[in-house]
Structure 1
Amino acid sequence: MRTDLNPDELGARRFYKLLTSSVVPRPIAWVSTRSADGVDNLAPHSFFTVACVTPPMLQFTSVGVKDSLSNVRETGEFVVCLAPEWLFEQVNATGTNFPAGVSEFGAVGLTPEPSAVVAPSRVAESPVAFECRLERDLTLGDCTVVIGRVVHASIASDVLDGDPTEGGLPMIDKLRPLARLGRNEWSTIGEVLDITRIPYGEWPGHFRP
Protein backbone atom coordinates (compact mmCIF):
# COMPACT_ATOMS: atom_id res chain seq x y z
CA MET A 1 0.00 0.00 0.00
CA ARG A 2 1.19 3.53 -0.82
CA THR A 3 -0.06 7.02 -0.06
CA ASP A 4 -0.41 9.03 -3.26
CA LEU A 5 -0.08 12.81 -3.08
CA ASN A 6 -0.61 15.69 -5.47
CA PRO A 7 1.81 18.56 -4.72
CA ASP A 8 -0.76 21.20 -5.67
CA GLU A 9 -3.43 19.67 -3.45
CA LEU A 10 -1.12 19.13 -0.49
CA GLY A 11 0.15 22.72 -0.60
CA ALA A 12 3.64 24.12 -1.07
CA ARG A 13 4.72 24.22 2.57
CA ARG A 14 3.57 20.70 3.43
CA PHE A 15 5.06 19.26 0.24
CA TYR A 16 8.34 21.06 0.98
CA LYS A 17 8.46 19.31 4.36
CA LEU A 18 7.66 16.01 2.68
CA LEU A 19 10.48 16.52 0.17
CA THR A 20 13.08 17.43 2.78
CA SER A 21 12.05 14.47 4.95
CA SER A 22 12.40 12.09 2.00
CA VAL A 23 15.41 13.39 0.08
CA VAL A 24 17.90 12.46 2.78
CA PRO A 25 20.63 12.75 3.85
CA ARG A 26 21.59 16.05 2.25
CA PRO A 27 25.15 17.41 2.42
CA ILE A 28 25.56 20.95 3.69
CA ALA A 29 27.24 23.85 1.94
CA TRP A 30 28.38 26.19 4.69
CA VAL A 31 28.43 29.26 2.47
CA SER A 32 30.55 32.27 3.33
CA THR A 33 29.93 35.51 1.46
CA ARG A 34 30.82 39.17 1.88
CA SER A 35 28.47 42.06 1.18
CA ALA A 36 29.45 45.03 -0.97
CA ASP A 37 29.78 46.94 2.33
CA GLY A 38 32.35 44.40 3.60
CA VAL A 39 30.18 42.47 6.09
CA ASP A 40 30.91 38.73 6.26
CA ASN A 41 27.96 36.35 6.14
CA LEU A 42 27.86 32.62 6.87
CA ALA A 43 24.89 30.31 6.36
CA PRO A 44 24.19 26.58 5.89
CA HIS A 45 22.45 25.44 2.70
CA SER A 46 21.33 21.81 2.49
CA PHE A 47 20.33 21.86 -1.20
CA PHE A 48 23.92 21.34 -2.32
CA THR A 49 26.04 19.21 -4.65
CA VAL A 50 28.81 19.09 -7.26
CA ALA A 51 27.57 20.69 -10.49
CA CYS A 52 30.45 19.98 -12.90
CA VAL A 53 33.74 18.09 -12.99
CA THR A 54 35.68 19.98 -15.69
CA PRO A 55 35.86 22.79 -14.85
CA PRO A 56 35.08 22.04 -11.18
CA MET A 57 31.82 23.66 -10.08
CA LEU A 58 29.63 23.50 -7.00
CA GLN A 59 26.00 24.49 -6.65
CA PHE A 60 23.69 25.40 -3.81
CA THR A 61 20.08 26.51 -3.80
CA SER A 62 18.79 29.57 -2.00
CA VAL A 63 15.15 29.26 -0.94
CA GLY A 64 14.00 32.83 -1.39
CA VAL A 65 16.43 35.75 -1.55
CA LYS A 66 18.62 35.67 1.55
CA ASP A 67 21.90 37.35 2.41
CA SER A 68 24.02 34.61 0.79
CA LEU A 69 22.32 35.06 -2.56
CA SER A 70 22.26 38.87 -2.35
CA ASN A 71 25.98 38.98 -1.55
CA VAL A 72 26.92 36.54 -4.32
CA ARG A 73 24.98 38.61 -6.82
CA GLU A 74 26.69 41.79 -5.60
CA THR A 75 30.26 40.49 -5.51
CA GLY A 76 30.33 37.33 -7.66
CA GLU A 77 32.23 35.31 -5.02
CA PHE A 78 31.59 32.82 -2.24
CA VAL A 79 33.30 30.07 -0.24
CA VAL A 80 31.83 26.64 0.50
CA CYS A 81 33.17 25.25 3.78
CA LEU A 82 32.62 21.76 5.14
CA ALA A 83 30.15 21.60 8.05
CA PRO A 84 31.78 19.13 10.47
CA GLU A 85 30.20 17.24 13.35
CA TRP A 86 32.25 19.02 16.03
CA LEU A 87 30.78 22.38 14.94
CA PHE A 88 27.17 21.16 14.99
CA GLU A 89 25.83 23.91 17.23
CA GLN A 90 27.62 26.66 15.33
CA VAL A 91 26.44 25.34 11.96
CA ASN A 92 22.86 25.31 13.20
CA ALA A 93 23.22 28.77 14.77
CA THR A 94 24.40 30.31 11.50
CA GLY A 95 20.98 29.46 10.08
CA THR A 96 19.46 32.11 12.38
CA ASN A 97 17.98 35.10 10.56
CA PHE A 98 20.51 37.66 11.77
CA PRO A 99 20.14 41.17 10.29
CA ALA A 100 22.20 41.77 7.14
CA GLY A 101 24.66 44.00 9.00
CA VAL A 102 25.55 41.30 11.55
CA SER A 103 28.33 38.81 10.77
CA GLU A 104 27.52 35.25 11.79
CA PHE A 105 31.22 34.60 12.38
CA GLY A 106 31.29 36.87 15.41
CA ALA A 107 27.75 36.06 16.52
CA VAL A 108 28.44 32.32 16.92
CA GLY A 109 32.12 32.48 17.87
CA LEU A 110 33.84 31.35 14.67
CA THR A 111 37.10 32.65 13.23
CA PRO A 112 37.10 34.32 9.80
CA GLU A 113 40.25 33.34 7.91
CA PRO A 114 41.43 35.21 4.79
CA SER A 115 40.83 33.26 1.60
CA ALA A 116 43.62 32.80 -0.93
CA VAL A 117 41.83 34.00 -4.08
CA VAL A 118 38.41 35.47 -3.25
CA ALA A 119 37.29 38.18 -0.83
CA PRO A 120 34.86 36.24 1.43
CA SER A 121 36.48 34.70 4.49
CA ARG A 122 36.86 31.00 5.12
CA VAL A 123 35.83 29.34 8.38
CA ALA A 124 39.18 28.73 10.08
CA GLU A 125 37.72 25.90 12.18
CA SER A 126 36.44 24.00 9.12
CA PRO A 127 38.84 21.47 7.55
CA VAL A 128 37.79 22.08 3.94
CA ALA A 129 37.07 25.27 1.99
CA PHE A 130 36.34 25.68 -1.72
CA GLU A 131 36.71 29.25 -2.95
CA CYS A 132 34.32 29.96 -5.80
CA ARG A 133 33.46 32.61 -8.37
CA LEU A 134 29.91 32.86 -9.62
CA GLU A 135 29.42 31.05 -12.91
CA ARG A 136 25.68 31.66 -13.17
CA ASP A 137 22.51 31.67 -11.14
CA LEU A 138 19.19 30.22 -12.24
CA THR A 139 15.84 31.22 -10.81
CA LEU A 140 13.35 28.36 -10.48
CA GLY A 141 10.04 29.31 -8.89
CA ASP A 142 10.77 30.73 -5.44
CA CYS A 143 14.35 29.40 -5.42
CA THR A 144 17.66 30.26 -7.04
CA VAL A 145 20.33 27.73 -7.98
CA VAL A 146 23.77 29.29 -7.54
CA ILE A 147 26.60 27.69 -9.53
CA GLY A 148 30.17 28.63 -8.73
CA ARG A 149 33.46 27.67 -10.35
CA VAL A 150 36.00 26.42 -7.80
CA VAL A 151 39.13 28.56 -8.14
CA HIS A 152 40.97 27.38 -5.03
CA ALA A 153 40.74 24.58 -2.46
CA SER A 154 42.16 24.68 1.05
CA ILE A 155 42.21 21.44 3.04
CA ALA A 156 43.63 20.77 6.49
CA SER A 157 46.64 18.49 6.05
CA ASP A 158 45.65 16.25 8.96
CA VAL A 159 42.45 15.10 7.23
CA LEU A 160 44.35 13.92 4.13
CA ASP A 161 45.76 10.42 3.64
CA GLY A 162 48.58 11.74 1.48
CA ASP A 163 49.64 14.47 -0.91
CA PRO A 164 46.68 15.33 -3.21
CA THR A 165 49.10 15.82 -6.11
CA GLU A 166 49.95 12.13 -5.71
CA GLY A 167 46.38 10.90 -5.19
CA GLY A 168 45.88 11.71 -1.53
CA LEU A 169 42.26 12.29 -0.51
CA PRO A 170 40.34 13.50 2.56
CA MET A 171 39.44 10.72 5.01
CA ILE A 172 35.77 10.53 5.93
CA ASP A 173 36.50 9.63 9.55
CA LYS A 174 38.55 12.81 9.84
CA LEU A 175 36.07 15.07 8.05
CA ARG A 176 33.05 13.90 10.09
CA PRO A 177 30.56 15.80 7.88
CA LEU A 178 27.09 16.69 9.06
CA ALA A 179 24.06 16.05 6.87
CA ARG A 180 20.53 17.42 6.98
CA LEU A 181 17.43 15.28 7.33
CA GLY A 182 13.78 16.31 7.74
CA ARG A 183 12.08 18.25 10.53
CA ASN A 184 14.81 19.53 12.89
CA GLU A 185 16.85 16.37 12.35
CA TRP A 186 20.50 16.11 11.35
CA SER A 187 22.81 13.14 10.94
CA THR A 188 26.47 12.20 11.16
CA ILE A 189 28.25 9.73 8.87
CA GLY A 190 27.25 6.64 10.88
CA GLU A 191 28.35 3.32 9.36
CA VAL A 192 30.45 3.65 6.21
CA LEU A 193 29.96 0.99 3.51
CA ASP A 194 32.71 0.29 0.96
CA ILE A 195 31.84 -1.45 -2.32
CA THR A 196 33.22 -1.39 -5.86
CA ARG A 197 31.07 -1.22 -8.98
CA ILE A 198 30.47 -4.44 -10.87
CA PRO A 199 32.17 -4.48 -14.30
CA TYR A 200 29.73 -5.42 -17.08
CA GLY A 201 31.88 -8.40 -17.97
CA GLU A 202 31.19 -9.85 -14.53
CA TRP A 203 27.51 -8.96 -14.52
CA PRO A 204 25.85 -12.15 -15.87
CA GLY A 205 24.75 -14.29 -12.95
CA HIS A 206 25.83 -11.76 -10.33
CA PHE A 207 22.30 -11.23 -9.12
CA ARG A 208 19.96 -14.22 -9.02
CA PRO A 209 16.25 -14.33 -8.14
Structure 2
Amino acid sequence: MFFEPAKGHGLRHDPFKAIVAPRPIGWISTMSRAGQVNLAPYSFFNALSSKPPLVWFSSDNGKDSVTFAEETGEFVVNLVGRELAERMVRTSVEAPRGVNEFDYAGLAAAPSRLVAPPRVAEAPAALECKVTEIIHPKALDGSSPATIAIGEVVGVHIDEAYLKDGLFDTAKAGNVARLGYFDYARVDATFAMRPPKWDRD
Protein backbone atom coordinates (compact mmCIF):
# COMPACT_ATOMS: atom_id res chain seq x y z
CA MET A 1 0.00 0.00 0.00
CA PHE A 2 0.93 3.65 -0.28
CA PHE A 3 -0.63 6.61 1.45
CA GLU A 4 -0.03 10.29 1.98
CA PRO A 5 -0.19 11.07 5.72
CA ALA A 6 -2.08 14.32 5.14
CA LYS A 7 -4.85 12.35 3.37
CA GLY A 8 -5.13 9.48 5.86
CA HIS A 9 -4.07 5.84 5.90
CA GLY A 10 -7.32 3.89 6.13
CA LEU A 11 -5.87 1.49 8.71
CA ARG A 12 -7.11 0.83 12.23
CA HIS A 13 -4.24 2.89 13.64
CA ASP A 14 -1.58 5.18 12.20
CA PRO A 15 1.47 2.96 11.42
CA PHE A 16 4.04 5.79 11.57
CA LYS A 17 5.34 5.07 15.08
CA ALA A 18 5.42 1.32 14.39
CA ILE A 19 7.56 1.88 11.29
CA VAL A 20 9.99 4.28 12.99
CA ALA A 21 10.83 1.81 15.74
CA PRO A 22 12.26 0.80 18.09
CA ARG A 23 12.83 4.20 19.62
CA PRO A 24 14.84 4.59 22.84
CA ILE A 25 12.93 6.12 25.71
CA GLY A 26 14.19 9.31 27.28
CA TRP A 27 12.85 9.21 30.83
CA ILE A 28 13.29 12.90 31.54
CA SER A 29 13.45 14.42 35.00
CA THR A 30 13.28 18.19 35.32
CA MET A 31 12.75 20.85 37.96
CA SER A 32 11.02 24.20 37.61
CA ARG A 33 12.45 27.46 38.91
CA ALA A 34 9.98 27.13 41.79
CA GLY A 35 11.34 23.68 42.69
CA GLN A 36 8.54 21.53 41.21
CA VAL A 37 9.87 18.15 40.07
CA ASN A 38 8.61 16.37 36.95
CA LEU A 39 9.39 12.92 35.54
CA ALA A 40 8.01 11.76 32.18
CA PRO A 41 8.96 9.36 29.36
CA TYR A 42 9.57 10.53 25.78
CA SER A 43 9.97 8.15 22.85
CA PHE A 44 10.96 10.96 20.53
CA PHE A 45 14.43 10.94 22.04
CA ASN A 46 17.95 10.01 20.99
CA ALA A 47 21.63 10.92 20.95
CA LEU A 48 22.90 13.47 18.43
CA SER A 49 26.65 13.05 18.79
CA SER A 50 29.28 11.59 21.07
CA LYS A 51 31.93 14.34 20.95
CA PRO A 52 30.51 16.33 22.56
CA PRO A 53 27.82 14.01 23.93
CA LEU A 54 24.52 15.62 22.92
CA VAL A 55 21.01 14.24 23.42
CA TRP A 56 17.58 15.58 22.52
CA PHE A 57 13.94 14.98 23.32
CA SER A 58 10.81 16.35 21.70
CA SER A 59 7.63 17.33 23.48
CA ASP A 60 4.24 18.36 22.10
CA ASN A 61 2.07 21.20 23.34
CA GLY A 62 4.40 22.70 25.95
CA LYS A 63 4.44 19.85 28.45
CA ASP A 64 6.16 20.30 31.80
CA SER A 65 9.42 18.54 30.87
CA VAL A 66 10.35 20.88 28.04
CA THR A 67 8.91 23.90 29.85
CA PHE A 68 11.01 23.22 32.95
CA ALA A 69 14.11 22.41 30.86
CA GLU A 70 13.73 25.71 29.06
CA GLU A 71 13.19 27.58 32.36
CA THR A 72 16.23 26.20 34.17
CA GLY A 73 18.50 24.95 31.38
CA GLU A 74 18.84 21.47 32.88
CA PHE A 75 17.40 17.96 32.63
CA VAL A 76 18.33 14.36 33.39
CA VAL A 77 17.83 11.37 31.11
CA ASN A 78 17.17 8.19 33.10
CA LEU A 79 17.61 4.80 31.42
CA VAL A 80 14.53 2.57 31.47
CA GLY A 81 15.53 -1.03 32.23
CA ARG A 82 13.00 -3.86 32.01
CA GLU A 83 12.49 -3.89 35.78
CA LEU A 84 11.36 -0.26 35.62
CA ALA A 85 9.05 -0.45 32.59
CA GLU A 86 5.75 -0.52 34.48
CA ARG A 87 6.74 2.38 36.71
CA MET A 88 7.97 4.31 33.66
CA VAL A 89 4.54 3.95 32.05
CA ARG A 90 2.95 5.12 35.28
CA THR A 91 4.89 8.39 35.00
CA SER A 92 3.31 9.05 31.60
CA VAL A 93 0.07 9.98 33.36
CA GLU A 94 -1.39 13.39 32.40
CA ALA A 95 -1.10 14.71 35.95
CA PRO A 96 -1.68 18.33 36.95
CA ARG A 97 1.40 20.52 37.19
CA GLY A 98 2.94 20.18 40.62
CA VAL A 99 2.37 16.43 40.95
CA ASN A 100 5.66 14.67 41.68
CA GLU A 101 5.75 11.59 39.41
CA PHE A 102 8.58 10.07 41.46
CA ASP A 103 6.16 9.76 44.37
CA TYR A 104 3.23 8.79 42.15
CA ALA A 105 5.17 5.87 40.63
CA GLY A 106 6.91 4.78 43.84
CA LEU A 107 10.40 5.75 42.68
CA ALA A 108 13.31 7.02 44.74
CA ALA A 109 14.76 10.38 43.71
CA ALA A 110 18.55 10.53 43.99
CA PRO A 111 20.45 13.82 43.92
CA SER A 112 22.35 14.71 40.78
CA ARG A 113 25.93 16.00 40.98
CA LEU A 114 26.03 18.86 38.46
CA VAL A 115 22.38 19.77 37.81
CA ALA A 116 19.40 20.46 40.06
CA PRO A 117 16.82 17.90 38.80
CA PRO A 118 17.01 14.58 40.65
CA ARG A 119 17.60 11.26 38.89
CA VAL A 120 15.79 7.94 39.24
CA ALA A 121 17.83 6.09 41.87
CA GLU A 122 16.79 2.67 40.51
CA ALA A 123 17.81 3.42 36.90
CA PRO A 124 20.76 1.43 35.50
CA ALA A 125 22.23 4.70 34.18
CA ALA A 126 21.44 8.40 34.07
CA LEU A 127 22.74 11.35 32.06
CA GLU A 128 22.90 14.80 33.62
CA CYS A 129 22.36 17.39 30.87
CA LYS A 130 22.59 21.13 30.37
CA VAL A 131 20.42 22.65 27.65
CA THR A 132 22.29 23.95 24.60
CA GLU A 133 19.30 24.72 22.35
CA ILE A 134 15.53 24.85 22.32
CA ILE A 135 14.19 24.35 18.79
CA HIS A 136 10.67 24.80 17.41
CA PRO A 137 10.62 22.65 14.24
CA LYS A 138 8.21 23.46 11.42
CA ALA A 139 6.08 21.29 9.16
CA LEU A 140 5.60 22.10 5.47
CA ASP A 141 2.77 24.48 6.35
CA GLY A 142 4.96 26.23 8.91
CA SER A 143 3.16 24.84 11.96
CA SER A 144 4.11 22.24 14.57
CA PRO A 145 3.20 21.64 18.21
CA ALA A 146 6.64 20.15 18.90
CA THR A 147 9.47 21.66 20.90
CA ILE A 148 12.90 20.03 20.91
CA ALA A 149 15.27 20.36 23.85
CA ILE A 150 18.93 19.58 23.11
CA GLY A 151 21.34 19.09 25.97
CA GLU A 152 24.99 18.34 26.45
CA VAL A 153 25.71 15.46 28.81
CA VAL A 154 27.84 16.87 31.62
CA GLY A 155 27.66 13.91 34.02
CA VAL A 156 27.03 10.17 33.70
CA HIS A 157 25.85 7.80 36.44
CA ILE A 158 26.19 4.03 35.93
CA ASP A 159 25.05 1.36 38.37
CA GLU A 160 28.17 -0.83 38.56
CA ALA A 161 25.99 -3.96 38.61
CA TYR A 162 25.60 -3.37 34.86
CA LEU A 163 29.30 -3.09 34.06
CA LYS A 164 31.02 -6.20 32.72
CA ASP A 165 34.67 -6.19 31.68
CA GLY A 166 34.55 -2.41 31.44
CA LEU A 167 31.49 -2.40 29.16
CA PHE A 168 27.91 -1.39 29.94
CA ASP A 169 25.81 -4.58 29.70
CA THR A 170 22.79 -3.46 27.68
CA ALA A 171 21.17 -6.91 27.70
CA LYS A 172 21.45 -7.24 31.48
CA ALA A 173 19.90 -3.79 31.91
CA GLY A 174 17.16 -4.83 29.48
CA ASN A 175 16.94 -1.40 27.84
CA VAL A 176 13.30 -0.74 26.98
CA ALA A 177 12.29 0.85 23.67
CA ARG A 178 8.99 2.14 22.33
CA LEU A 179 7.34 0.58 19.31
CA GLY A 180 4.01 1.59 17.78
CA TYR A 181 0.58 1.48 19.38
CA PHE A 182 0.90 0.24 23.01
CA ASP A 183 3.88 -2.00 22.25
CA TYR A 184 7.37 -1.99 23.76
CA ALA A 185 10.53 -4.03 23.25
CA ARG A 186 13.48 -4.81 25.46
CA VAL A 187 17.07 -5.68 24.66
CA ASP A 188 17.71 -9.24 25.81
CA ALA A 189 20.48 -10.21 23.39
CA THR A 190 23.17 -8.36 21.47
CA PHE A 191 25.53 -9.22 18.65
CA ALA A 192 28.63 -7.47 17.36
CA MET A 193 29.70 -6.53 13.83
CA ARG A 194 32.76 -4.54 12.88
CA PRO A 195 32.66 -2.16 9.90
CA PRO A 196 34.69 -3.37 6.90
CA LYS A 197 37.98 -1.83 5.82
CA TRP A 198 38.32 -0.82 2.20
CA ASP A 199 40.75 -3.28 0.63
CA ARG A 200 40.26 -2.68 -3.10
CA ASP A 201 42.44 -0.63 -5.38
Q: Same fold (TM over 0.5)?
A: yes
Q: How far apart are residue 173 of structure 1 and its match?
A: 2.2
What secondary structure does 1:182 align onto?
Answer: coil
Q: How far apart are residue 29 of structure 1 and its match?
A: 0.5
The answer on whether the counterparts of 2:25 and 2:44 sit within 8 Å (CA) in structure 1 is: yes
Query: Which structure features the higher share of strand residues?
Result: 2
Letter in 1 for 2:194: T
- Structure 2: stretches of 5+ with no match in the other structure: 138-143
The 2-side partners of 1:124 and 1:135 are apart by: 25
Letter in 2 for 1:57: L
The answer on whether the counterparts of 2:171 and 2:189 sit within 8 Å (CA) in structure 1 is: no
Q: Deviations over 1:126-180 (max 9, x none)?
A: 0101000100011112211210011111111121124xxxxx2211122211010
- Structure 1: stretches of 5+ with no match in the other structure: 163-167, 205-209
**How big is the alpha-carbon RMSD for the aligned residues of Structure 1 and Structure 2?**
1.8
Q: How far apart are residue 201 of structure 1 and its match?
A: 1.4
Letter in 2 for 1:174: K
In structure 1, the residue matched to 2:72 is 75
The answer on whether the counterparts of 2:171 and 2:188 sit within 8 Å (CA) in structure 1 is: no
Tell me which structure has the larger Cα radius of gyration: 1
In structure 2, the residue matched to 1:42 is 39
Select which of 131, 155, 161 maps to 1:158: 161
Percent sequence identity is 36
TM-score by length of 2: 0.90
In structure 2, the residue matched to 1:197 is 195
Q: How far apart are residue 193 of structure 1 and its match?
A: 2.6
Structure 1 segment 47-196 matched on structure 2, within 5 A? 47-140=44-137, 141-162=144-165, 168-196=166-194
Q: Deviations over 1:21-44 (max 9, x none)?
A: 111111001000011221111000
The 1-side partners of 2:179 and 2:199 are apart by: 38
Letter in 2 for 1:182: G
Q: How far apart are residue 47 of structure 1 and its match?
A: 1.0
